[in-house]
Structure 1
Amino acid sequence: MNYATQHHIGNYQHTRTETTTAIAPTVGRVCQLDAKTKGCKPSAERQAEIRTNSNATNGILKCTFLPKLKTAKSVQACQKTARDFHKSLSKLAEHHSIEPMQTQDFEFPYNIVLSMWDMETKVKRTNINWEGFKLIQDSKKTYFTSEERYNTGTTLYYIPVVPLFQILKDQKRKKTAQLLLSVCSYLYHIAQIPYYRQEESYLYWLYEMMNDWVEQDEETAETETNKRELRNAEYIGDKVEQKLFNLINLKVFEKRLNRFKSVDTFDSECWKIARNAFALYTEYPSENIFRNATLPEKDPYDNDENEIIGMEKYISFIADTKGWLYESLSDTINNEFNEYGAMEEPTISKQFDGSEIPTANLDFENRLFDLLNDLSGLLYEYKTIEK
């Protein structure tokens, strides 16, 4: 007779793990808490006693027990993320003199999302160059990085020198011409605006290309006119550059500005432009337009090396912004720019990770681009409003 030990095997039920509702990461990586697993719970109901065979004692080995998930590490990680976040947010708010919204009554991660929305909205109101910010989470900490950018749009900041040359020839505009020479000398020497007669400039080679095309055309009255326009562009460009190169224009800039007497609207506009240029020269005596030139982030999977429009291509002195030559140049430039995917623009990036925060801003660029726009517009309209 087999007197094997009797076992009372209860109703074993495989308990389903409690699931949590997943929250889509809105900012960086949002820590998600793990669900606690319910253990195997024996049934209160007892089965009728039965005799099993000798292999029944191994039945327990066939049961699968779910591991108990550790939640402490996840909770600590989220707590550290929240602490780092608020510390960095406080630095960002202090830097921009903004009072952040109080979000402590909201649970994680909603407090983070709400805080970022609030900060984005408020900074945009006070900083015209605000491009946005990112929440970065590396292996050590979580912090903000911000970006400020001067948006140049699709503007070509080309300053024509032919009208300036004409003003220099006008005896009635002698003082006006001298004042404009000081302005353009500042742009040439200090702001470092490219000059189209310099071989390293973008426009120099476009003018050379135009010259080659005209030389290859059949001789007609039109081609002769085009050749003359090209020769004038070279001659006038060289003459004006000689005058701009003279540093005396900078030394007497303030004197010319203070002694200038406006006699008409054109003179008044010239004086305003000169005043703004001299203010920049005084406040930023050694800053140039490329000081914050930054290339946009490049797609690592894009092998096209010529996809960025450099600032030197859309900022320059030019012969003229009227006539056949300029129209031909514009067509060539537009066709080329249409092949590019992004533009290089003045940009400032800052990290709020506990390190020293730079005080740099785009005030210089804001005012300088306005100056270029006003000056090129004034010179373009010179013949129209000439007295």
Structure 2
Amino acid sequence: MNATKDHIGNNKNTRRRATSKITSAIGQVRSLASKTKDIKRNTERQAEICTHSTASNGFLRCRFLPKQVEMPTVQDCREMTETQRDFYRSLSEMSQQYRIEPMQTKYFHFPYNIALAVWDIKTKMKTTNEDWTAFKLIRSNKKIHFAKEETFYVGTTLYFIPIVPLFNMLKNKNCKKNAQLLLSVFCYLYHIADVPYYRQQNSYLYWIYEMHEEWMEEDETGEDSQNYWREFRMSKSIGDIMEGKIFNIKNLDFFEQRLNGFKIRNEFDKDCYKVASEAFAIYSEYPKTTIFCNKPSSEEDPYSDDDINKAIGMEKYISFVADTTGCLYNNIEDSINAEFNEYGSMEEPTIYTPIKGTAINKADFDFEKRFFAMMENLHKVLT
């Protein structure tokens, strides 16, 4: 599997666990007791029951308690006032910048006044030929304001970096220098870029591996069961060994030294040196930046109609993985694609620029552009 070719959303069949037959929880219908058969029907009519002559007046005499209404606290009122103040200030700046006359909605009750104002500005933005979807009402530093939204397109690629190839390189004397150089790259991805590691329980792929292992335990009669179990054991043992090596921060300390002392003898050396140089340059210019620095957050858009839970999280398509070949990974990839087909969108690096009545500079995605390109080149080296 090539990370640059594995596209999210392919309709592939996934392994599904066999389910046992569901039995009904409803008991059988029992026959009536025998002595009820001998009971004869009473032919005498029941006495007629009539409402009291004053029943209609009784309803009018009833007194109903009023519906209890929760009164807003002083804190609620203060937050409501601050929210409206921030909103209309930002609305004024946005109207000024795009030369739009907003509807007067201040006299309506909260929050209808804000909803009506958003609907109005959304409609009038069409006259300026601006795409409304590029704007968001976000909350930052406990204040809400309009902002322009710009997103870095990552495509439908699984950015999975395999561990097993590097493990095999470390055991090969002819590739020892290459492996040490790439070990520094892995250390950067692990410690600085914060790429999830599949052997950590809070990672998405850890759960995927666990799920497939449970399926294998329930179905051990498969033709490739021995291969699956062998790959499972390798993914765990090699994954734990390599995490220990990557965790060693000395690999990051020796990054520049290894890069300067590396000698290029063939095309493979050239590719390793190129990707290591790219990683080191990113690390030097962005020493504390993680790949999730511009991850979109649901808290940033309190009035959005989109459900952020329906989006594919960035941590799901960026990760270390055991390997990107073999039967085990093919099944994992199929299940991931099947799951991703259930989502309506995917999270991508996003920058929100506040609208303050002045010209807005284009968002700077220099880090993301270089990082994802480096990830693709790294995967090509390892496969």
Q: Is TM-score (shorter-chain normalized) higher than 0.5? A: yes
Secondary structure, in 3 states, of the residue corresponding to 1:294? coil
RMSD, matched Cα: 3.6
CA distance in 2, matches of 1:174, 1:353: 55
> Does 1:338 find its partner at 2:341?
yes
> Does 1:365 find its partner at 2:368?
yes
2:175 aligned to 173, 176, 187, which one? 173
CA contact (8 A) 1:309 1:340 kept: yes
Query: What are the residue-to-residue correspondences of 1:137-152 with 2, within 5 Å?
Result: 145-152=147-154
Query: How far is the alpha carbon of 1:308 from its aligned partner?
Result: 1.6
Query: What are the residue-to-residue correspondences of 1:314-325 with 2, within 5 Å?
Result: 314-325=317-328
Structure 2 partner of 1:215: 217
Query: How far is the alpha carbon of 1:283 from its aligned partner?
Result: 0.5
Query: How far is the alpha carbon of 1:361 from its aligned partner?
Result: 2.3
Secondary structure, in 3 states, of the residue corresponding to 1:147? strand
CA contact (8 A) 1:156 1:315 kept: yes
> Does 1:281 find its partner at 2:290?
no
Could you report, residue by residue, the CA deviation over 1:256-278 in whole angstroms, capped at 9, with x for unpaired residues? 11111011111101111111100
Secondary structure, in 3 states, of the residue corresponding to 1:230? helix
Deviates more, 1:144-153 or 1:222-231: 144-153
Q: Runs of 4+ in structure 1 displaced over 6 angstroms? A: 112-115, 296-302, 355-360
Could you report, residue by residue, the CA deviation over 1:136-168 in whole angstroms, capped at 9, with x for unpaired residues? 9xxxxxx97322211122111000111111111
CA contact (8 A) 1:89 1:144 kept: no
Query: What are the residue-to-residue correspondences of 1:296-311 with 2, within 5 Å?
Result: 306-311=309-314
Structure 1 partner of 2:160: 158
1:350 aligned to 344, 348, 353, which one? 353
TM-score by length of 1: 0.60
CA distance in 2, matches of 1:216, 1:87: 64
Query: How far is the alpha carbon of 1:286 from its aligned partner?
Result: 0.5
Structure 1 partner of 2:261: 259
Query: What are the residue-to-residue correspondences of 1:222-261 with 2, within 5 Å?
Result: 222-261=224-263
Could you report, residue by residue, the CA deviation over 1:153-200 in whole angstroms, capped at 9, with x for unpaired residues? 211100011111111111011110000000010000000000000010
Could you report, residue by residue, the CA deviation over 1:282-312 in whole angstroms, capped at 9, with x for unpaired residues? 110001011110047699667x774121111
TM-score by length of 2: 0.61
Amino acid at match of 2:151: R
Query: What are the residue-to-residue correspondences of 1:97-116 with 2, within 5 Å?
Result: none
User: For the structure 1 residues 370 and 364, does the alpha-carbon distance in structure 2 shift closer, same or farther, using more than 3 Å as the test?
Assistant: same
User: For the structure 1 residues 221 and 270, does the alpha-carbon distance in structure 2 shift closer, same or farther, using more than 3 Å as the test?
Assistant: same
Q: Percent identity of the aligned residues?
A: 50
> Does 1:379 find its partner at 2:377?
no
CA contact (8 A) 2:150 2:363 kept: no
Amino acid at match of 1:213: W
Larger RCO (CA under 8 A, 6+ residues apart): 2
User: For the structure 1 residues 165 and 298, does the alpha-carbon distance in structure 2 shift closer, same or farther, using more than 3 Å as the test?
Assistant: farther
Amino acid at match of 1:327: N
Query: How far is the alpha carbon of 1:344 from its aligned partner?
Result: 1.2
> Does 1:206 find its partner at 2:215?
no
CA distance in 1, matches of 2:324, 2:358: 47
Could you report, residue by residue, the CA deviation over 1:61-104 in whole angstroms, capped at 9, with x for unpaired residues? xxxxxxxxxxxxxxxxxxxxxx96796369xxxxxxxxxxxxxx
CA distance in 2, matches of 1:135, 1:217: 50
Structure 2 partner of 1:10: none
CA contact (8 A) 1:295 1:308 kept: no
User: For the structure 1 residues 85 and 215, does the alpha-carbon distance in structure 2 shift closer, same or farther, using more than 3 Å as the test?
Assistant: closer
CA distance in 2, matches of 1:266, 1:298: 50
Gap runs ≥5 in structure 1:
1-82, 91-111, 121-130, 137-142, 381-387
CA distance in 1, matches of 2:206, 2:125: 51
User: For the structure 1 residues 178 and 133, does the alpha-carbon distance in structure 2 shift closer, same or farther, using more than 3 Å as the test?
Assistant: same
CA distance in 1, matches of 2:360, 2:230: 55
> Does 1:312 find its partner at 2:315?
yes
Structure 2 partner of 1:17: none
CA distance in 1, matches of 2:169, 2:193: 23
> Does 1:88 find its partner at 2:97?
yes
Gap runs ≥5 in structure 2:
1-91, 100-123, 139-144
CA contact (8 A) 2:93 2:355 kept: no
User: Which structure has the larger Rg?
Assistant: 1
Query: What are the residue-to-residue correspondences of 1:97-136 with 2, within 5 Å?
Result: 132=134
Secondary structure, in 3 states, of the residue corresponding to 2:224? helix
User: For the structure 1 residues 367 and 320, does the alpha-carbon distance in structure 2 shift closer, same or farther, using more than 3 Å as the test?
Assistant: same
Amino acid at match of 1:158: F
Query: How far is the alpha carbon of 1:114 from its aligned partner?
Result: 11
CA contact (8 A) 1:193 1:316 kept: yes
CA contact (8 A) 1:151 1:345 kept: yes
Amino acid at match of 1:343: M
Query: How far is the alpha carbon of 1:113 from its aligned partner?
Result: 8.2
CA contact (8 A) 1:295 1:345 kept: no
